[in-house]
Structures are given as structure tokens and as C-alpha cells.
Structure 1
């Protein structure tokens, strides 16, 4: 079932072993890799024993010299380096399908070149370079020394240096949170509500999270956007993040450097935060996508291009789809049979294939207080043509969460027996929560859970975890990952709703670019908790079904919120896809607005959201003195339908705010070559074109 498990465990690297014996290349001539189209170029320079890389597009240097190298407990690969083999460029075909994602098929080529180095101690290291039309990537590879020892990677010098534009540029990254790096923070600091310029420290003393989106400048002063992240994660290296940026005022540059998880993550369990390596090993890919606009950089598929190829021999059983999600509006609903059935009835009427029963479903009772066995829950779902996703606590020693069931996924035998039972009952998938660390051992354990789920034909959704790093391709049954501010923040005890409209315009072109985002869309009730009212318009909420992409779209509101909508809205929510053939970002101004068009078959879904925030109160407590609700700014969003090849005779249904001053949802059928929508503050639109 999981055909690539063995492939992860064995790594053969013939190039470095030979390269370590080769005669050093004389001189300091740079080694260059150009994309097949010739526009993008990555260059490695070894000078005075230090290796750096630069990235240029159309001859303009977008990423100035940035450090390469790392340090082991017994070997230094940051200085004293000698180039031993320049390698030869070769074309690498990239051809794969995505069962859920922004596209259904990727066909392209990349240029690869392996540069071999030797350090002062005589140890070998390869730098594998790749370039394509969207950007560049690299990873380090090391041959087996034959000593049978496990070594610690003490640190990485790997950096990303960017030019700071005259206006300071823009920097969008999440703070790397202390102890629980769940990637659930704000891109724009709440207390000092301005878009961070390049080099502004995050509010966390532990640095910044991937991905990093930045507006920078080439050496000629022209504006560029870059998106940096990781891919190809296979459990043999931790998920990394970035140190606080370091600004060089004299040079007008800022540098971000790779950092490892901390020892106290996972409550101090699961080993150290530093990588532990042995035999032949390699790091994950680090990639930098480059484009002239934020919209263009958001279209990159580098995160999956560099992912480990699909690990499953059989994918015929995988079915992305929408689901009911009761926990959001009623945290106790998974413990009540009657409440759970209310959402089952909703799923049946809406025609959604799945129902998610969240935390503490193992404590479910009926109205009489009688415990409800899992078999009964499955039977109730089956009667309504629904398949279940069931929540599990990942822990373990990695968290102290009280949500149950827990301690069933740590030991392999217990986990497989659990998954066997779920498969035998006809359960479709599991939502595994509360990972709360980026450590190498946790990533390896998480991979084992995902692979065991595949063996028993169970889909997977992950929460409270790290961002995707290529796993959308490797594990197509992994339908969604949280790792961001999701809609459930509307129902947290802290009121967090004020900043969500703005966050969406950023997360859609940062977090969601690197993999499926399990957000929990389309809240149409005024609030989940009175102290945290929804600020978005109904049109904005409908648009999120397209703006955000996930192979598992959990509709998070109450049955009444959906069933009382007009037939047209209900039809839209019943039929909007969760997997796409093509995606085009038509406009993107992070912290202001985003417009995205996604195609399924011959139907285009075009959605835009306005998150422009004019005023917002500092802090998160509306009971604080002088608190005022946030205010937004009406915006006119325009789409040229000809850019998508849409003909004037096509049928278009537009769900939008009534006007710039009226947030009421209105359905119209406009015609013409372009689409112009006056969105209300925190408003939006969604258009279906057939």
C-alpha cells in the first residue's frame, strides 16, 4: 500500500564519495544553474573557503550573496571549503498528479546540478541545486562515512539575504511560538498594527516561521516578491524555521537564517531539537520562489514539485470532499448523540460526503445518558449516506491536552489495531490533533501515522502541527492541515475575530501556497461566541470556499445557518469543489485583498475578499477600556474574464455584497468581458462561470 516507505529509509549518494577524492577545482569561478527557460539562475560561489548562493531573474540579482553550509558536532562545513567537482547540468522532468491541490497535474522540467565540496578535515558535502521558471531550490547531501556513528547537526549557516527597498519593503511571516509552534499567529502584529517592513523582528524571541513572503528589490531597484519555504521532508530531518532577521544598514540588506526546533518543544520529550544524522543523509529542500507580483509568486508549485513522489501504490480509494463540522459552534456536540445527528442530517441534506465528529466522541451518550458505541455512530452516519472522520489526540508525551481519545496512535501495534477497527467499520478518515512540535522524532512519528492510515485506507487531517512541506504530493490521502489561524478562533475564549479578514488576504498567498489549509469555511451566523462577532460579510464567507484550498472542507456553522439560505446559496455550498484542475491568482495585495480563480472541468470559480483594515484596537479584549470594533475600507475589485479565456456567452452567477455600503448578500447574473464588484468593508464575492 505505501510503496515508498523503504525508499525513505535508504539513501545512496555515489557522487560525494568520489568527489571527496577528486582534485580541487582551481580558481573561484562561480557555478551556475539556469532554468530550462533561461530566465532564472542560481549561482554558487566558493571564495575564501565560504560558500554562498545568489538568485537572478532576467539578469537582475533578486537574492544577493547568501550563506550556505552547516556545522556538525565534529565537522565544519561553513568555512575552509574547497570546490572539488562543479558537476554538470542535467534536465529533471517533473510530472505528477495531485488528487487535491491548486492543480490536478504538473508537467514541467527543472535544471539540476550537483556541486561537490570538501571541508578542511577532508569530509565531503554536495549541494544539489535546482532552477525552474518559478524559482530555485537546494539541499545538502552527505555520503556515509562508514563510522556507524550518529552525529548532531549543531547549526546551519544557510541564509536568505534580501535587499531592502527604499520604502522598507514588506515581510509576512508568523512568529515561531514558544513551546507550541502550531503556526497559529498573526502576520501583522496586533499591538503595532502596521505591515512589517523587511527586518522587523517578530513578537516571538524564537524567530519566524516558514513560509516567508517578502517584497524586496533587485540590485537595479525594481520590485520583486519572494516566497521561501521547505519541501521534501521525510522524517530524517526536523522541520526548520528562521532566526530573527538581521539587518545590515550599511549594505541596505536583511538576512534570515535557518534555525532548528528547541529542546523544550513537545514538553521536552522526543529528543533534542537539533537534527540527529548518520549514514548517508540529506536535508530537506529549501526553495525560493520569485516573481514580480505577490499574485504570481502565489501560483508556484515548488512546494510539491520538490516533494517526495507519491508513496502510495494505490490511490483509487482517495476521495477529497466536504464535511459537516459541529465542534466549532457546539464544543459539546461530539459527546451528544442527538446533537451529532443534527449535523448528520445537515450533511445528508447538503449532499456532502463526510461528517467530522470531533474531540471526545468516545464519551458520547444519548439523551438518557447511555454510552453510545462507535458502531452506533457509524450506523447513524451510514443511514444518511455519510462517511465519518473521527478526531484523535496524537499524544503521547508530546502534549498535555485532555481531549480524548488519546494514547492510541503512539505505539505502532495499538495504532494499527485502532486503524484496522476503523476500516472494518467503514470509517473514512481521522483528524489527528495536538502535535505541537517541529522536532525530528515527532515528524518521523507523524509520518508513521500517515503511512499506517494509508495501509488501512483512511484519509488524514492534521491539526496543531507544522506547515505542509511537500506532503500533499507524497501522501495524497492527507487531505488537510491546519497550521494557521483557522475559523475555530471565532469560538475560542479569547476574542480573536477582529483581525481575521486581514489575515485571510495574507494566508491565502503564504500558508495556503505551500499546501492544503484546513480552515473550516463559511460562517454565516453572526458569531460563535458573543464576545467574538464575525466581522466579514456573507459574500466574504462564501468566497472562502474558493480563496482557501483544502481537500477536506469542513463547513463549520450550524445546520440552521446553512439550511435557511436561499436555494442558490445552498446549491453553491453543496457543489463547490475541494480539488482543482487549475488555479490563477488574479490579484493579491497582502493585508488588503486577494482574487483567485480556480477551475474544475469547464467551470471557473472566481472569488475575492477584502480584508483592508483601517483601524483596529490594540490587544484582544473588547472589554478593555476604550476598545472600539475594527473598521474596514470598501474596495472595488475587478476581473478581466478574458484573462481566463471566458467567453461573453458564458453563464455567470455572482454572489456579492449589495454595494460598497450595503453588506447584504445579493445574487446577480452580470454579462460582459469584465467583472467589477464594489465590496463592502470586509466584504467579498464569488462568481461561478460555466
Structure 2
């Protein structure tokens, strides 16, 4: 009997050791996924206390160092005591699609994916989905079980550990106010772990996307999110990054100045189960240009929910507000409609005050008669209630309106994320385009809802009216935003603002013109007056007529955030090289134009005229391999290849 007891005890001990060993192997052997090219890898780790963390590597070098994961919920805790239940096989997933608004029209990317199921000490399950591709990695949390119970998340532990010697570009997340948060602050050149300094408005965190130069300056990384829907708020990063760990922060409860949102003790994420949360997206590149051209954010977003997208047409628009902010007369709106018609623009934008002008002068009918599609402005609260929104969209469509610029959202709360999805959907049913202002950044939504063609969420040319620091910093920002905010989605920068406003412009006229071709926007709303457009040289006017509003192919030639940017842009048979200088110094540029202009015999160069702030010089040259140019301070150039 004694021997049998000893045997059973030994057997049980052996069995326990077996399960313990199996669990340890499960928790250490396969909690990772690597891209098909073996460059990018994300790996999960479990501590002895069952705390979950991860790191990200490229070529086995650390990109994101050990960083925390986990969720603290109202009914369950997933921050410790976790153990592995199941590990799925690695699966290939191919994302092949086209974007209406893009640097590169066609996308064809392959991802390696894996799901890891863990349980907490009470047996509740949480799933971590991992993906890795040639442009980076991503992960998200998922609750599969729950019998439709409602769960809220009190805290998300997710962090991004950026090495202390890394520098980056980050934008302060402004505290709730009359016009904030609206993602309209400067991108600041920071060291990892820096506190927020000198923001435009009081701030409570850092915005995403956030850009860093890591791995001893050998790699660039962009931290962002994708696929946010009505089941989660828009997120930002906490203001303090102790040890370089930037942690996720939820929208603030007081972000409700412009919308009829309920008062809440907390603005925690809340959803019935099952529940799939947004992707935490980490874009990785060897060069900053790899970040600018990445489509990882749209790759992870749901595919288009609009079956027929043939009616969605990118284009250019004249816009009267910048040059005539206080003139809401029918005459001024019609003048800018006529300007659109003369330049071959598809659209004209009627900004705030257009309703009275339309009653008095039928400005919409005038635009339609001219063959120009009218876009109109609206206030966010008019589009927040579902019944009012649907009725308004239907009314506008019946009037002949083709798109709506909806302003003053100023909130990342979950209710707003849900409303935006409904805005895109309801507008699509009426074949209306959407331009959001005073709003959050896109999160891959332009793939899911291709009628979402552009958005503000950026400091732009209207700042010449309002921000005294803008003239000095504008050129620098124009060489940063294409690597940050514009990677998340199209930017309604409203380029070409030449007339001097309250805060005098320092960028050259060519720099301002070039921003129409360095930023990506489904509709380019050109600033300035009819008189300025009428004064332009013929070749510059022709550039406005021919310039595309989206691109088939883009390549980065020079990509130095905060310093300079030179892009090769192609659309059908059109081919350009466009460059801007973000500094106060002269910058020499040397290009092999025979390489970039293969198939063309000469090129037209648009550069600074005698008066750099207002004038252009246009010259034509034969193509040669060793073309040299000097970008003047805050200057630019545009090359147009000619057959």
C-alpha cells in the first residue's frame, strides 16, 4: 500500500512537471510571428507572475524594447496571472486592393498572422492577434466569449518602449476646449521620454501617429492605430513616458464641447462581447521614406464597405473662405465657382454661410450649370443625430450637392467614433463625399469608406490668421507631416496661400505651391483669391489644370523629416519631381534626371522668381544625368517632365 502511494505520488509529480513544462514551452516557444521576408518580428512574453509583454525586432535588432500589455476591466483582470491556452498556426493573409486617395494606387501585401489565447486566474479568456509584414507589425486584443455580456475597460496597459537615445517627432494632444482636441498642434522634435513642451494649447498627452528614429538611427518607426470603430474611443499616448515607455490613453470624459454628449464619470471603452479592439500598429522602415509610403494602417483596416465606388472622384476645388473669410455673398461664391470652371477643377467648396447665399443667389444651381460639383460646409452637431443626419444628407443630395465638409467634432470619445462610421455610411448611400474638420486623425477609414476623401486634423494654412509661430515653423512642419499625420490618411492642407495675412508668410511661393503635391488629399482645396490665380504665368496655370489629386506611383528621393523632402510622383502619363526645404539654410540637391525621367526628352522647372514670396520662374531644359539645384531657405521646386 505504501509503495502504491509512493508510485501515485511520483506519477502525479511527473504529470505536474509535464504540464508545467508543456505550459512553459507554450509560453516561450511560439508566442511570436515573423514577416515573410524574415525582417520584422513581434514576440510576446509571460513573466513568472503571468504578466504579458512584447518586443519588436527588425533583422534581430530591437525596434520596440520590452513593453507592457494587458487590460483591466470592470469584471475581469487581464494584467497578471495569465497563462497560455492555445496558439494558432501561422497563417498567410494577403491584402490586395486599390485606394481612391493614395501615394501608390495599388496595394498587394502579404502578412503572417497568429492568434494566442490566454486565460486569467478566473478562467476568463483573452486573445492576442499578431501580424507581421514587410512594412511592420501590429497586435490587437479580442474577447471571443461572454454570451453578449457588456464589458468596460478601465485601463489599457499597452506601451511602446522607445530607447532613450532615440529622437522623434510628436504632436501634443490638446486638452478639451472649444476647438480642441483637433490634432492641430506643431510636431515637436523630441528625445524619447521628453515631457510636453510649449504646445499651442494646454495638453494631456501625445497624439498618434508618433515618429521615432530608433536602433541607433538605423531605423524609423511610426506608432499608430488602425480599424477603430464604434466599439472603442480614439486613443492617444500618455504625457509621461518614464524610461521611454509611451502608454495608451483613452479619450478624456470632458471632450464634449461641440457635440450633445452625455456627462460621464469616466469615458472608458465599453462593448458587448464578443469584442474586437483596434490594431496597435507599428510601421517600420530603414529610411524615413519607407514610413511615408507605408499602407500598413489601411492594410489592417476593414475592406471597403461600398460596393460601387465608381461615383467617388478625387479632384481639385476652388475655395473662397481663405481670401474672403467675411464675404458670404452669392457673388463671391459664384466667382470661385467660375474660377474652378476656368481651371478645370471638378469641385467648388461653399464654406460657412453658404445657405443664405444659396437662397438669395442659387449658388448650387450656378455651379451645376457650370459643370462644377458643389461641396458645402456643415456643423458637426447637425450630423450627430442619426435621423437628422440622414434627412440632411438626403436633402443635400437632392439639391445637387456632391460632398460635405463637416466641422468641429473636437472629441475622440467612443460615441464620436461610432458617429463617424455612421456619417461615412449614411453619406455613401446618398453618393456624398466627406471631408472632416476639427476632428480626429483617420485610422484606415479611407479604405473602409472610400467616400471619406480628406480631413483636417493638422495645422494648416489657415494658421496664418491665428498662430504667430506658424510662419517660422510652417516649412519644417511641411517636411514632417507627410511622415506622420499624412501616413494615417489624406490631409486637407488647403495649399497655395500666397496673400500675406495677419502673420506674414516666410515660405517661398514655390514651396507653397509644392505642398499641393507633397501632401495627399482626395480633394485639394486651393487657398487664395481669383486675382492671385489670374496673375500666374501660363505654365503655372497649366500645372493647376493638369495636377492630379491622387497618384498611381510615388517614390521618395530625399526623405529627411524636419529638413527636406523630394518625391517622384506619377499619374497616368504625367510625371513630376517635387521638392521642399524645411530649413532656414540653402540645401543642395543633385538628381539623375535620366533615371527619373526615362522616356521623356526635357523637363520644365518651376522655381522662385525675383520676389520669392510671390513670383515664379519657369524654364525648360533638356534632361541630363547630373542635374544640380540649390533649394533656397524655406523654398521648393517642381519638375514637370515633357515628352
On whether the aligned pair clears a TM of 0.5, the verdict is: yes
Counterpart CA distance in 1 for 2:457 and 2:353 is 22
Match of 2:313 in 1: 319
* Other structure's SS at 1:182 match: coil
Find 1:176's aligned residue among 173, 176, 180: 173
Structure 1 residue aligned with 2:73: 72
Matching residue of 2:98:
97
User: Per the alignment, in what secondary structure is the counterpart of residue 347 of structure 1?
Assistant: helix
Who is 2:211 aligned against?
213
Decide whether the 8 Å contact of 1:66 with 1:158 is kept in 2. Answer: yes
SS in 2 for 1:113: strand
Q: Does 1:279 align with 2:267?
A: no
Alignment correspondent of 1:625: none
Aligned to 1:118: 119
- What residue in structure 1 maps to residue 333 of structure 2? 340
Equivalent position of 2:12 in the other structure: none
Structure 1 unaligned regions, length at least 5: 1-21, 189-194, 249-253, 366-370, 396-406, 613-631
Counterpart check, 1:381 vs 2:367: yes
Q: CA deviation at 1:464?
A: 0.6
The match for 2:360 among 353, 363, 372 is 372
Matched, 1:555 2:522: no
Change (3 A) 1:660 1:387: closer
- Where structure 2 has 5 or more consecutive residues not aligned to the other structure, the ranges are 1-19
Structure 2 equivalent of residue 56 of structure 1:
57
1:32-71 Cα offsets, whole Å, 9 max, x none, are 2111111111111122211111111112222211111111
Q: TM (normalized to structure 2)?
A: 0.91
Match of 1:163 in 2: 163
Relative distance call for 1:25 and 1:643 in structure 2 (3 A) is: farther
Q: Distance in 1 between matches of 2:256 and 2:211?
A: 27
Q: Is the 8 A contact 1:660 1:678 kept in 2?
A: no
Query: Could you tell me which of 346, 354, 379 is aligned with 1:393?
Result: 379
| C-alpha separation in 2, matches of 1:601 and 1:26 | 56
Task: Give CA-to-partner distance per residue, 1:382-415, whole Å, 9 cap, x none.
Answer: 22211100000011xxxxxxxxxxx3x2332222
Contact 2:604-2:639 within 8 A present in 1 as well: yes
Distance in 2 between the 1:350 and 1:553 partners?
13
**Residue of structure 2 in register with 1:36 after alignment:** 36
* C-alpha displacement of 1:679: 1.5
Higher helix share: 2
CA distance in 2, matches of 1:107, 1:649: 29
CA, structure 1 residues 638+132, in 2 after alignment: closer, same or farther (shift >3 Å)? Answer: same
Q: State how 1:363-512 maps to structure 2 within 5 Å.
A: 363-364=356-357, 371-372=359-360, 376-395=362-381, 407=382, 409-492=383-466, 496-512=470-486
Residue in structure 2 matched with residue 687 of structure 1 by the alignment: 639
- C-alpha separation between the residues in 2 aligned to 1:155 and 1:149? 19
In 1, distance between residues paired with 2:504 and 2:72?
A: 50
Separation in 1, partners of 2:96, 2:161: 31
CA distance in 1, matches of 2:374, 2:114: 47
**Secondary structure of 1:163's match?**
coil
Alignment partners' CA distance in 2, 1:675 and 1:85: 59
Residue of structure 2 in register with 1:200 after alignment:
194
Q: Deviations over 1:594-640 (max 9, x none)?
A: 1122211232222111111xxxxxxxxxxxxxxxxxxx212123334
TM-score by length of 1: 0.85
Q: What's the secondary structure of 1:265's corresponding residue?
A: coil
SS in structure 1 of the partner of residue 23 of structure 2 = coil
1:535 to 483, 496, 506: 506
Q: Are the equivalent residues in 2 in contact too, given 1:652–1:688 (CA < 8 A)?
A: yes
* Greater radius of gyration (CA): 2
Aligned residue for 1:656?
607
State the shift of 1:592 in Å. 1.2
Q: Is the 8 A contact 1:431 1:460 kept in 2?
A: yes
Matched residue of 1:490: which SS? helix
> Which of 223, 232, 236 is matched with 1:228 structurally?
223
Question: Quick check: 2:557–2:567 contact (8 Å CA) kept in 1?
Answer: yes
Question: Structure 1 residues 648 and 453 mapped into 2: Cα distance closer, same or farther (>3 Å)?
Answer: closer
Quick check: 1:256 aligned with 2:246? yes
Is 1:265 the equivalent of 2:255? yes
Q: 1:173 to 1:349 in 2, by over 3 A?
A: same
Inter-partner Cα distance in structure 1 for 2:164 and 2:567: 28
Task: Please report the RMSD computed on the Cα atoms of aligned residues, expressed in angstroms.
Answer: 2.1
Farther-moved stretch of structure 1 (29-38 vs 506-515): 29-38
Given the superposition, is the C-alpha separation of residues 134 and 423 from structure 1 closer, same or farther in structure 2, using an over 3 Å criterion?
same
Residues 334-370 of structure 1, C-alpha deviations (whole Å, 9 max, x = no match): x2111111111211111101000001212327xxxxx
CA distance in 1, matches of 2:52, 2:580: 43
Please report how far the alpha carbon of residue 658 of structure 1 lies from its aligned counterpart in structure 2 after TM superposition. Answer: 5.6
Secondary structure in 1 matching 2:480: helix
